[in-house]
Structure 1
Amino acid sequence: MNSRRLLGRRPSTPGRIPGSSSPDRSLPSDLMIQTCRRVGIVSIVFGSIWAFMTVMNNFVIRLISERMDTLYPFPGNLVGGAGVASSVAMVYLARRIGHKPQLLIDLGSGYLVLQCLLISVLTHWIPIPLVPRVSWVCIAILIYPAIVPNTPRKTLVVSLVAASTEPLAMALSMLRGIEFLGGWLYVLWTSVPNFICAFLVVVPVQIIHGLGQQVRRARELGSYRLEEPLGKGGMGEVFRATHQMLARPAAVKLIRPEILGSSSPGAARVIIQRFRREAEAAASLRSPHTISLYDFGVANDGTFFFVMELLDGLDLETLVERFGPLPPERCVHLLRQVCDSLHEAHTRGLVHRDIKPSNIFTCRLGLEVDFVKVLDFGLVKAVDEGGREATLLTAPDSTTGTPAYIAPEMVRGDRVADHRVDIYTLGCVAYWLMTGRLVFQAPNAIQLMYQHANAIPVPPSKLSEFEVPAALDHVILDCLAKFPEERPQSAAELSRRLLAALPELAWTGELAQRWWDRHHPEAARPGQTDSQRILTKTMEAMWEPVETPSPLASMGP
């Protein structure tokens, strides 16, 4: 069977209505952001050169020549100071308005013209002998646009203006009564290289923009245009994207065809099936606490992709790493929302099998905050009515999941794993939220899984910096029971027990709103980029199926 057909149809919606709008000829947004960073870097380099030359001309020239006024005329220090000051101002602007890349690049073009004018004024303040030379203006014209490319048309205009600064400076010197050998003929002859460079620099800029347009076209998947990358792993990437007609932001997960080509047939089958299973599972679930799937399919180049909602918030792993353990009432508030998502999945016969903090996202959604979304259903497994596995997406003699968050029965392999593995791993998540620690610590994955199968966990109340009620302690330890029949038997039951464990404490909407206003305000501060405002983690750094050798197989007979 052709592997391209495994994900079903290609997107049917057109990418753009013909004639509806003119094509966007700017560079892709992530390349624009990189260009903006280079504005600051180039400004630092230019400013450092001005400072170095000013110091050298004031101290070294005095030592080697008495003709200071001729070699370094009067406005030298003023021009050098202006060069340093303008460079410092440009570095400040690069940091201040980096979220407006085109404006910053246009200001950078003005900065280039100013630098060329300063160079020309200093060079032609006093006549120099007729000797062959390369103007510093030529160097600036050639280097700056190639490092910080604007559009080809703007580059040509700005370069011509910059090239004109040298004859302008010479004309000003003539008005001051300075005579140049050769007169206007010398002025014109000296300026020719500048104008040649002004036309030449358009060539690399045109090439850069042509490559940028190729990147933009390559990033168009159906109705969506890929923008800056949000994450990258061993199997694929996640991009921020925008629907070209609805202007709706989204997150697009990709698996490149070369990844499949470089994998073994068995591994490629697992990758394709997991990708398809994640799309099908997310599409079949309607809980508001399960991430929404907009579209999925195969691009023309064989790239597997699916489009998800873009979340504004952070995953629970990052939440605890950044802000520390959470109070019990907030833990219960978040965990019960996860239970809602899992209850629907379990009711439909689906087991997530990879519940962990990095796959649970708390975010802003409309007017609500601390709204939980469960991600990454790529390891989901369907179970038929007889309790048998309907599909198997892992290789023989392997254990699928994350060693720090894995149920004992999946380690032992002594029974068919059912929905109660998610109850166990959610207990591990609760432990992490309350204590900021894993349930067990070990130097390697094998020993860690062995402890999940055999060791007794320390109650979270003994490690948490908050006072954990005994009833809540008991619920979490029940989730971490070694045998499924000793755990809460459903996500709905766990949700009820969590609520009952805190009868008088509650994480109210007012408390949640206060926390989010303080730590993740909806209106971003000036100077923040989109990527800083939207803390999106729609996949981990390495989100491929984790296939860890079974401890029993590794130990041998």
Structure 2
Amino acid sequence: MEGQRIAGKYRLARLLGRGGMGSVWLAEHLSLRTPVAIKLIDVEAAKNATARARFDREAQIAARIRSAHVVKVLDHGLTDDGLPYIAMECLAGESLRDRLSARRRLTPAETAKIVSHICRALSRAHEVGLVHRDIKPENIFIAREDDGEIVKILDFGVAKVTDALAITGMDPTRTGALLGTPYYMSPEQARGLKSVDYRSDLWSLGVVVFECLTGARPFTAPALGPLIAKILGTPPPALSAAAPGAGIPVEVEAWMRKALAVEPDARFASARELSEAFMVASGVADSMDRGSSAGLPDGKPPSAVRPPDGVWETADTVALPSGDGRAPVAAAPQPPVAATPQPPVAAAPQPPVAPLSSATGPGAVAAARPVAPARVLVWAVVLLAIALLAVSGVLAATLLR
């Protein structure tokens, strides 16, 4: 298909990857001469009405979410053969799966950026009634932009619309279907319940965080049945046991237990709360130069209650140490400056402060201080001099008469 034109506007350059429903190609916009990514559905998949509807919904849903942390959909239409395509922004970088494959695990600070950015995207999606339902390292992309990195969510193909009026037409991800990658499915997804909501995404993100910190998934099994049994009835292993030498703070252990709680009501109440709690638990919020709340989505201290819905900023708040993943360069320590010795200065003795008397109530402004004897003597001399002057004046007036 290399060199093929799509809808008279794009020319396919090379294959970037294949998925369960189709392929993604690097392409060129013919009139703008700019690179784009074209997602094409497979011919066989296009014959399936459900698969085709899912493909179309992915474009509609991604276009609705206004976030720098969701891959941008630029165009959607049909090829000359009548197959749907999606034109998306062309990203340079790697998926989280690729990074974990190369490095096995990430530091708490690096994981904090993943959490912060993904929670921004999830918050926007949840605000408009969308549940992704397939959060996993393959659908998290770490894109290089300018001198830094930004994390984006891909593939809303299995997203669930919780707002019935949001998108009309058939829901190809019908309620009760077992959708999503099994290792990252929430307990309610594994049960096939109708009550799957945004907290399912938070559980899946907890599994992603576990894998980032330890290099392993919390729940594994040789078959789907035993895996679901573990997800529903086995507590996740301790992070310290899964990665003994990773130096994971003990506070993150408590965070993980809440993130992976079986019952949705026992989890974090929102993506924002989950993100804030991880910033504090991992120590990132307390170690940044910008203060104890640095790294939080809106710069405010975390709250134990569910925050009100609102608009989040889209700028990075927790930066990876560097674009290539290296640790930040520490400032060179400065030699201490020897202080010039100064002669000690004796403090002037202060008169004792009289305690408040029992008659002085709580509203009293100040307690009475004892008057120094020298001050009494001075005032006595002054008053005596004034009296003598007055007497002298009276005698002088009398003699002049």
- TM-score of the pair, normalised by structure 2: 0.68
- The question of 1:334 aligning with 2:114 is answered yes
- For 1:512, the equivalent position in structure 2 comes to 322
**1:445 deviation in Å?**
1.9
**Residue 340 to residue 237, structure 1, CA distance change in 2 (3 Å):** same
**Residue 489 to residue 290, structure 1, CA distance change in 2 (3 Å):** same
- For 2:93, the equivalent position in structure 1 comes to 313
1:392, 1:294 → 2: CA distance?
23
Q: Equivalent residue of 1:308, what SS? A: strand
Q: List aligned pairs for 1:336-485, cutoff 5 A.
A: 336-369=116-149, 371-384=150-163, 392-394=171-173, 398-464=177-243, 465-485=245-265
**Residue 515 to residue 318, structure 1, CA distance change in 2 (3 Å):** same
2:151, 2:276 → 1: CA distance?
17
Q: Which structure has the higher relative contact order (CA within 8 Å, separation 6+)?
A: 1
Q: Equivalent residue of 1:326, what SS? A: coil
1:259, 1:504 → 2: CA distance?
50
Q: Structure 2: where are the runs of 5+ without partners?
A: 289-294, 296-317, 329-401
**Residue 469 to residue 366, structure 1, CA distance change in 2 (3 Å):** same
Q: Considering only CA atoms, is the larger Rg found in Structure 1 or Structure 2?
A: 2
8 Å Cα contact 2:6-2:80 kept in structure 1: no
1:348, 1:448 → 2: CA distance?
32
Q: Percent identity?
A: 34
Question: Of 51, 65, 81, which residue of structure 2 is paired with 1:301?
Answer: 81
How big is each residue's C-alpha offset from its partner over 1:356-382, in whole Å with a ceiling of 9 and x where there is no partner? Answer: 01100112113322x101000111111
- For 1:325, the equivalent position in structure 2 comes to 105
Q: Equivalent residue of 1:515, what SS? A: coil
**1:390 deviation in Å?**
9.3
Q: Equivalent residue of 2:323, what SS? A: helix
8 Å Cα contact 1:297-1:304 kept in structure 2: yes
**1:446 deviation in Å?**
2.1
2:327, 2:87 → 1: CA distance?
29
Question: Of 14, 18, 28, which residue of structure 2 is paired with 1:242?
Answer: 28
Number of equivalent positions: 295
**1:517 deviation in Å?**
11
2:320, 2:163 → 1: CA distance?
43
**1:416 deviation in Å?**
0.9
- TM-score of the pair, normalised by structure 1: 0.50
**1:417 deviation in Å?**
0.3
8 Å Cα contact 1:257-1:302 kept in structure 2: no
Q: List aligned pairs for 1:194-213, cutoff 5 A.
A: none
**Residue 340 to residue 390, structure 1, CA distance change in 2 (3 Å):** farther
Q: Equivalent residue of 2:111, what SS? A: helix
How big is each residue's C-alpha offset from its partner over 1:503-523, in whole Å with a ceiling of 9 and x where there is no partner? Answer: 4345974722352799xxxxx
How big is each residue's C-alpha offset from its partner over 1:194-220, in whole Å with a ceiling of 9 and x where there is no partner? Answer: xxxxxxxxxxxxxxxxxxxxxx3x433
Q: Equivalent residue of 2:230, what SS? A: helix
AA paired with 1:456?
Answer: P
2:170, 2:269 → 1: CA distance?
23
Higher fraction of helix: 1
Question: Of 225, 232, 255, which residue of structure 1 is paired with 2:11?
Answer: 225
**1:269 deviation in Å?**
2.3
- The question of 1:280 aligning with 2:60 is answered yes
1:517, 1:251 → 2: CA distance?
32
**1:393 deviation in Å?**
2.1
Q: Structure 1: where are the runs of 5+ without partners?
A: 1-27, 31-215, 262-267, 519-557
How big is each residue's C-alpha offset from its partner over 1:336-372, in whole Å with a ceiling of 9 and x where there is no partner? Answer: 1100000000011000000001100112113322x10
8 Å Cα contact 1:256-1:304 kept in structure 2: no
Q: Equivalent residue of 2:109, what SS? A: helix
**Residue 229 to residue 406, structure 1, CA distance change in 2 (3 Å):** same
AA paired with 1:330?
Answer: E
AA paired with 1:439?
Answer: P
